[in-house]
């Protein structure tokens, strides 16, 4: 039916000069602590940090539900927390790219397959082709970005829905990976001889100061960069505009094709980064690696509050969503919950998170 | 179901109409801290056309949303035939005989016209499948009532906005409503269709249907309404019977103390001419567009010749489907791909934009017809919406400077007097007029030489209209060329220096608005009797 809109508040003040310190992070905090002017504003404010809040809840629940040994909470041990962030990093990095795609109003089903292709590529180039680390990684990343760009071009210029383009891309990437690897996992051995990878590549398996796993550090760096990009660049504005109303964006002079190609290229590139990390962590590259990762990444984005319709959402939400899923996986595993029950619980959490978003519109 | 015998309610010559069907007493509604309605009393009699007037934000929408069951939570009483009612939802209101045609159309684009008309009440065959033939028959009957020549089997999505609106009206008629609420039914209609609609409304009136008629167009109210209730700031400012409808008095009621002069006077040069001394800014000769994939229902340019000089406001008139929108799209690089012949020159150099970005780079701006579908993301903030086109002016190395952006946004909001609580407010929360100003602001920041406007005042209240007209004149005085497509004759005559008339994708007349009348324009547009002087 018709939309009921709150009539605009009477000729309200046109200029609200930003009060001191309402800019930047400190400003955000100040805005948050100020007394809300309406229920809508209050609800908005609560939901702005909803995914962080949910993350906190899951964290506390995990502490309570954690098994103990000699009075020590296993969940909170440094080793376990390290495992969580290590496990989260691949999905997390993919989810960052996926956030751009979903903000654009699209979806990318090919990222898991690109991860597999990249893992195979990394292993093959390092071991069989005798590439150094830098050229090998560079080639893999370029392949991933190009693969994404081609998909983006098909979406933008041929007007095919991204679901279909990337579904096809998924098959193609898996096919290439199988052909390239002969259908087998390629183990990475380290050393100086032929058929051996430079030992420095093992760094991906290590940690900073013996605590922070290297992949988690990469995830954090990429995540921070993505937050900055999404908040401050013209590119991000264009992504939001296209996702919100593509026709309006085009008529407003947004370079729609270019932005779409770039977004899918970024998604492909980040999937390739995750693939390199994957190869490093498992010391091998198998063409079947990363199967189903695209769905976990989508789940992380959705839990993070980004709308599948495009045009609204945040990167911080995605990072929180990825961590939340990681903690959930970890605590279920720590308690030896049956794998099938784990799936069921994860499914329910995703539905619950999405229902919360709907609820917001109801209250506000 | 029409309860009153057709002969029973003669045209409300008595000024009273039949018995009261619906009465609303002391109705009040608040949204959060904002009072939308404050003790409004409103009634509809059988066989009367009751106009509801007021600026955007005066409470008209809220009032009809209560009447049509969309808003269920309010203070005050509503009675139907004297018995108190409280509709649980739109379906309940419909069952009580109150049908509403909303400004935003409620049609399913993928379904055919016939399927839309019988949606939810599909006629069945004996096998319980949908009886398509009966549906098409019903649809044709109701469309004929309106005199609308639309194939019921066409998908609604392939119709133009105006045709869709006719379908929407037909759909409400099919519901046998006793009270029909029309929210700006003519907003998208060309004059020919408006007259047909008025004939239909007259028929409804004779059959005893009460019509609530909402419109911003005073001249329509004068023609069609038996009385008018004027709302201002959520209260009734006055009830005026037919025959006492003095335009200036009603406008004064609507706007309160504000100035009532709608059109800014065109400046006159010392020698009495205006704008004619300058060089042609846009010069189009024999423009013909042949799309690669023909678009059904669209009328592509088929012999357009025109000039727009710097400092000049040129109107673009024509019936619906005359090709006004298509011409503007072509000039903005937003038309279909295909072959194009003829020449377009912008400031003397050849101009053939292949996409909107090219047009914007060349200094051409475009405010499209349907701002919700083609210009705005309703839940994005005002500031971000304003900056979309001119983002590059506040961007360094890809990064947007918040500080420069804020000052540009603030400056524009002040300059155009956009009423918004802050730059962070979602555009969708603004009134139609202010939404339109946001679209204007976006293009003005890009500093175009030529501004293309497609129905820029549709759904815009009278106060904001006047402001937009003044703004256009100011821009023209500063040397901008403006090409303005409009269905409103007073707008064309009051704002423009010249009016070009299109028919079937061709320019058929070029009239100076001095000493030109609405009849001249209409005659040229319809191509009947001899039209304007400059008929080509």
How far, CA to CA in Å, does B303 sit from each of B166, B232, B504?
29, 47, 9
pLDDT at B246: 76
pLDDT at A9: 41
Query: Per residue in B187-239, pLDDT tens?
Result: 667 667 777 788 878 878 887 889 999 886 777 888 899 999 999 888 998 89
Measured in angstroms, the CA of B338 and the nearest CA of chain A are apart by 16
Q: Which of B355, B400, B421 sits opposite A237 (nearest CB)?
A: B400
pLDDT at A154: 96
Taking contacts as CB-CB distances below 8 angstroms, the residues of chain A near B376 are 245, 248
Of B154, B197, B191, nearest to B172 by C-alpha is: B197
**B106 with A40: Cβ contact below 8 A:** no
pLDDT at A110 over 90: yes
- Evaluate whether B206 touches B9 at the Cβ level (below 8 Å): yes
pLDDT at B278 over 80: no
pLDDT at B6 over 60: no
Contact B126/A at CB under 8 A: no
Measured in angstroms, the CA of B492 and the nearest CA of chain A are apart by 25
DSSP letter string, A176-207: HHHHHHTTS-EE--BSSSTT-B-GGGGGGGSE
pLDDT at A362: 58
pLDDT at B3 over 80: no
Residues 466-485 of B with CB under 8 A from A: none
pLDDT at A224: 96
Contact A69/B at CB under 8 A: no
pLDDT at B264 over 80: no
Confidence bin at B250 (pLDDT 50/70/90): confident
Distance of CA B498 to the CA centre of its chain: 22
In chain B, which residue's Cα lies nearest the Cα of A18?
B406
> Residue holding tokens 């004068």?
B222
pLDDT at A23: 42
**A39 with B32: Cβ contact below 8 A:** yes
pLDDT at B529 over 60: no
Number of Cβ within 10 Å of residue A199's Cβ equals 12
**A8 with B65: Cβ contact below 8 A:** no
In chain B, which residue's Cα lies nearest the Cα of A11?
B419
Contact B398/A at CB under 8 A: yes
**B356 with A252: Cβ contact below 8 A:** yes
In terms of Cβ atoms closer than 10 Å to its own Cβ (0-12, 13-18, 19+), residue B263 is middle
Range list of H helices, B336-431: 356-361, 371-374, 382-387, 402-415
Contact B256/A at CB under 8 A: no
What's the DSSP call for residue B381? B
Q: Which strands make up the sheet holding B20-31, listed edge to edge? A: B34-45, B20-31, B75-80, B83-85
Measured in angstroms, the CA of A240 and the nearest CA of chain B are apart by 9
Mean pLDDT of B285-307: 88
Of B359, B376, B337, B317, nearest to B507 by C-alpha is: B317
Of B398, B441, B411, B443, nearest to A231 by C-alpha is: B398
pLDDT at A356 over 60: yes
Give the three-class secondary structure for B346: strand
Of residues A158 and B261, more confidence is placed in A158
Contact B271/A at CB under 8 A: no
Contact A13/B at CB under 8 A: yes
pLDDT at B209: 85
Give the three-class secondary structure for B307: strand
Q: Which of B374, B391, B434 sits opposite A237 (nearest CB)?
A: B391
Measured in angstroms, the CA of A53 and the nearest CA of chain B are apart by 24
Per-residue exposure over B301-316, b if at least 16 CB sit within 10 Å of its own CB, e if not: bbbbbbbbbbbbbbbb
Measured in angstroms, the CA of A225 and the nearest CA of chain B are apart by 13
Contact A312/B at CB under 8 A: yes
Which of the given ranges, A3-17, A38-52, A348-362, B465-479, has the highest pLDDT on average? B465-479
**A237 with B33: Cβ contact below 8 A:** no
Of A171, A66, A76, A163, nearest to A116 by C-alpha is: A171
**A7 with B104: Cβ contact below 8 A:** no
In chain B, which residue's Cα lies nearest the Cα of A9?
B34
Percent of chain B with pLDDT over 70: 86
**A1 with B33: Cβ contact below 8 A:** no
In chain B, which residue's Cα lies nearest the Cα of A5?
B429
pLDDT at B9: 37
Range list of H helices, A50-110: 50-65, 78-103
Number of Cβ within 10 Å of residue B189's Cβ equals 22
pLDDT at B296 over 80: no
* Strands in B168-296 per DSSP E: 179-183, 210-214, 227-232, 235-241, 280-291
Confidence bin at A127 (pLDDT 50/70/90): very high
**B400 with A12: Cβ contact below 8 A:** no
Confidence bin at B8 (pLDDT 50/70/90): very low
Mean pLDDT of B64-72: 90
Confidence bin at A32 (pLDDT 50/70/90): low
Confidence bin at B17 (pLDDT 50/70/90): low
How far, CA to CA in Å, does B286 sit from each of B306, B341, B343, B345, B356?
9, 7, 7, 12, 22
Mean pLDDT of A301-314: 89
**B90 with A39: Cβ contact below 8 A:** no
Angle B98-B99-B105 from CA coordinates, rounded to 5°: 155
DSSP letter string, B477-533: HTT-EEEEE-S-HHHHHHH-SEEEEEETTEEEEEEESTT--HHHHHHHHHT-S---T
Distance CA B455, CA B102 (A): 19
Measured in angstroms, the CA of A37 and the nearest CA of chain B are apart by 9
**A6 with B410: Cβ contact below 8 A:** no
Which of the given ranges, A63-72, A152-161, B429-438, has the highest pLDDT on average? A152-161
Mean pLDDT of B263-276: 49
Contact A241/B at CB under 8 A: yes
Confidence bin at A95 (pLDDT 50/70/90): very high
- The helix (H) or strand (E) run that includes residue A213 is strand A212-213
Which region among A85-99, A179-193, A274-288, B10-24 has the lowest average model confidence (pLDDT)?
B10-24
Measured in angstroms, the CA of A107 and the nearest CA of chain B are apart by 20
Contact B91/A at CB under 8 A: no
In chain A, which residue's Cα lies nearest the Cα of B452?
A251
**Token representation of residue B207:** 């059959």
ipTM > 0.90, yes or no: no
pLDDT at B272: 41
**A235 with B430: Cβ contact below 8 A:** no
Of residues A191 and B315, more confidence is placed in B315
pLDDT at A17: 40
Of residues A263 and B122, more confidence is placed in A263
Give the three-class secondary structure for A9: coil
Contact B244/A at CB under 8 A: no
Number of Cβ within 10 Å of residue B60's Cβ equals 23
Query: Per residue in B317-376, pLDDT tens?
Result: 987 778 999 999 999 999 888 899 999 999 999 999 999 999 999 999 999 988 888 899
Pairing of strands B364-367, B399-400: unpaired
**A311 with B377: Cβ contact below 8 A:** yes
pLDDT at B369: 87
Taking contacts as CB-CB distances below 8 angstroms, the residues of chain A near B32 are 6, 38-40
Distance CA A150, CA A162 (A): 12
Which residues does residue B485 pair with via DSSP β-bridges, in sequence order?
A: B316, B454
Contact B421/A at CB under 8 A: yes
Distance of CA B397 to the CA centre of its chain: 41
Contact A25/B at CB under 8 A: no
Taking contacts as CB-CB distances below 8 angstroms, the residues of chain A near B379 are 244, 311-312
A143: CB partners within 8 A, 6+ apart: A117, A118, A121, A272
Pairing of strands B34-45, B210-214: unpaired
Which residues does residue B232 pair with via DSSP β-bridges, in sequence order?
A: B235
Pairing of strands B364-367, B450-454: parallel
Of residues A22 and B75, more confidence is placed in B75
Confidence bin at B461 (pLDDT 50/70/90): confident
pLDDT at B45 over 70: yes
Taking contacts as CB-CB distances below 8 angstroms, the residues of chain B near A10 are 34, 57, 233
Mean pLDDT of B298-319: 91
Q: Which of B104, B387, B400 sits opposite A3 (nearest CB)?
A: B104
Q: Which of A2, A8, A253 sits opposite B389 (nearest CB)?
A: A253
Residues 315-354 of B with CB under 8 A from A: 332, 334
Number of Cβ within 10 Å of residue A340's Cβ equals 8
Confidence bin at B33 (pLDDT 50/70/90): low
Measured in angstroms, the CA of B238 and the nearest CA of chain A are apart by 21
Query: Per residue in A223-266, pLDDT tens?
Result: 999 999 999 999 999 999 999 999 999 999 999 999 999 999 99
Give the three-class secondary structure for A150: helix
Contact A9/B at CB under 8 A: yes
Mean of pLDDT over chain B: 83
B326: CB partners within 8 A, 6+ apart: B289, B298, B299, B300, B301, B335, B505
Number of Cβ within 10 Å of residue B128's Cβ equals 7
pLDDT at B266: 55
Mean pLDDT of B95-115: 83
- The helix (H) or strand (E) run that includes residue B163 is helix B161-174
Of B480, B486, B493, B534, nearest to B510 by C-alpha is: B534
Give the three-class secondary structure for B64: helix
- Evaluate whether A1 touches B105 at the Cβ level (below 8 Å): no
Q: Which of B103, B375, B414 sits opposite A14 (nearest CB)?
A: B414
**B31 with A6: Cβ contact below 8 A:** yes
Query: Per residue in B166-200, pLDDT tens?
Result: 787 788 778 777 898 988 777 667 667 777 788 87
pLDDT at B298: 79
pLDDT at A39: 67
Taking contacts as CB-CB distances below 8 angstroms, the residues of chain B near A38 are 32-33
């Amino acid at each position: 039916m018709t939309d009921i809109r709150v009539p605009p508040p009477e000729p309200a003040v046109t200029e609200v000069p930003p009060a001191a310190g309402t800019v930047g992070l400190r400003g955000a905090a100040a805005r948050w602590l100020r007394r809300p002017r309406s229920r809508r504003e209050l609800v908005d404010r609560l939901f702005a940090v909803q995914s962080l809040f949910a993350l906190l809840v899951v964290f506390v629940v995990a502490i309570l539900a954690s098994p103990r040994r000699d009075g020590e909470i296993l969940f909170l041990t440094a080793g376990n927390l390290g495992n969580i962030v290590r496990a989260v990093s691949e999905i997390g990095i993919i989810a960052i790219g996926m956030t751009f795609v979903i903000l654009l109003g699209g979806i990318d089903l090919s990222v898991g397959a690109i991860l597999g292709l990249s893992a195979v590529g990394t292993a093959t180039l390092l071991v069989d082709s005798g590439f150094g680390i830098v050229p090998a990684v560079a080639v893999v990343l370029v392949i991933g970005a190009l693969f994404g760009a081609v998909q983006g071009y098909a979406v933008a210029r041929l007007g095919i829905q991204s679901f279909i383009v990337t579904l096809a891309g998924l098959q193609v990437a898996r096919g290439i990976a199988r052909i390239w690897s002969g259908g087998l996992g390629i183990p990475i051995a380290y050393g100086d001889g032929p058929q051996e990878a430079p030992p420095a590549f093992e760094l991906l398996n290590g940690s900073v100061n013996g605590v922070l796993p290297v992949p988690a550090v990469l995830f954090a760096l990429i995540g921070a960069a993505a937050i900055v990009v999404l908040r401050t660049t013209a590119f991000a504005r264009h992504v939001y505009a296209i996702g919100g109303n593509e026709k309006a964006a085009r008529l407003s002079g947004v370079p729609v094709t270019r932005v779409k190609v770039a977004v899918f290229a970024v998604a492909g590139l980040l999937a390739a980064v995750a693939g390199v990390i994957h190869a490093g962590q498992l010391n091998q590259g198998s063409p079947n690696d990363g199967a189903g990762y695209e769905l976990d990444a989508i789940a992380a984005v959705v839990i993070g509050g980004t709308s599948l319709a495009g045009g609204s959402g945040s990167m911080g939400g995605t990072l929180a969503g990825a961590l939340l899923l990681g903690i959930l996986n970890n605590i279920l595993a720590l308690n030896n919950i049956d794998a099938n029950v784990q799936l069921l619980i994860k499914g329910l959490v995703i539905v619950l998170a999405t229902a919360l978003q709907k609820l917001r519109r109801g209250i506000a | 179901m029409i309860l009153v015998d057709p002969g029973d309610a003669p045209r409300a010559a008595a000024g009273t109409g039949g018995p009261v069907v619906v009465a609303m007493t002391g109705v009040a509604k608040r949204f959060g801290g904002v009072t939308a309605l404050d003790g409004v009393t409103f009634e509809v009699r059988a066989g009367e056309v009751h106009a509801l007037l007021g600026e955007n934000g005066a409470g008209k929408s809220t009032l009809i949303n209560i009447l049509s069951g969309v808003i269920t939570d309010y203070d005050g009483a509503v009675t139907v035939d004297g018995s108190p009612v409280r509709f649980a939802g739109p379906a309940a209101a419909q069952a009580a005989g109150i049908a509403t045609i909303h400004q935003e159309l409620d049609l399913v684009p993928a379904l055919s016209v016939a399927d839309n008309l019988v949606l939810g009440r599909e006629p069945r065959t004996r096998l319980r499948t949908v009886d398509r033939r009966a549906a098409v028959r019903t649809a044709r009957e109701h469309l004929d009532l309106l005199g609308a020549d639309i194939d019921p089997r066409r998908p609604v999505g392939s119709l133009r906005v105006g045709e869709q609106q006719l379908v929407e009206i037909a759909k409400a008629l099919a519901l046998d409503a006793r009270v029909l609420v029309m929210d700006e039914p003519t907003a998208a209609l060309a004059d020919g269709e408006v007259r047909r609609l008025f004939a239909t409304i007259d028929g409804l009136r004779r059959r005893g249907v009460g019509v609530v008629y909402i419109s911003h167009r005073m001249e329509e109210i004068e023609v069609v309404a038996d009385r008018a209730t004027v709302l201002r700031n959520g209260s009734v400012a006055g009830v005026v019977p037919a025959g006492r409808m003095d335009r200036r008095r009603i406008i004064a009621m609507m706007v309160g103390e504000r100035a009532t002069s709608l059109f800014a006077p065109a400046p006159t040069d010392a020698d009495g001419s205006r704008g004619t001394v300058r060089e042609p800014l846009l010069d189009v000769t024999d423009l013909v567009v042949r799309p690669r994939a023909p678009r059904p229902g669209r009328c592509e340019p088929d012999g357009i010749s025109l000039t727009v000089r710097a400092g000049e406001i040129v109107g673009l008139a024509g019936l619906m489907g005359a090709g006004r929108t298509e011409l503007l799209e072509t000039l903005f690089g937003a038309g279909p791909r295909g072959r194009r012949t003829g020449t377009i020159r912008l400031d003397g150099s050849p101009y053939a934009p292949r996409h909107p970005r090219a047009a914007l780079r060349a200094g051409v701006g475009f405010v499209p017809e349907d701002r919700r579908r083609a210009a705005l993301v309703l839940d994005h903030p005002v500031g971000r919406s304003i900056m979309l086109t001119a983002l590059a002016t506040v961007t360094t190395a890809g990064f947007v400077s918040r500080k420069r952006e804020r000052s540009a946004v603030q400056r524009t909001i002040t300059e155009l007097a956009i009423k918004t609580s802050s730059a962070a407010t979602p555009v969708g929360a603004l009134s139609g007029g202010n939404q339109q100003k946001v679209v204007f602001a976006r293009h003005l920041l890009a500093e175009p030489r030529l501004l293309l406007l497609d129905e820029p005042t549709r759904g815009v209240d009278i106060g904001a209209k006047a402001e937009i007209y003044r703004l256009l004149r100011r821009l023209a005085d500063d040397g901008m060329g403006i090409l303005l497509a409009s269905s409103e004759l007073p707008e064309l005559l009051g704002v423009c220096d010249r009016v070009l008339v299109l028919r079937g994708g061709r320019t058929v007349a070029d009239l100076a608005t001095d000493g030109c009348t609405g009849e001249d324009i209409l005659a040229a547009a319809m191509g009947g009797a001899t039209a304007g002087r400059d008929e080509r």
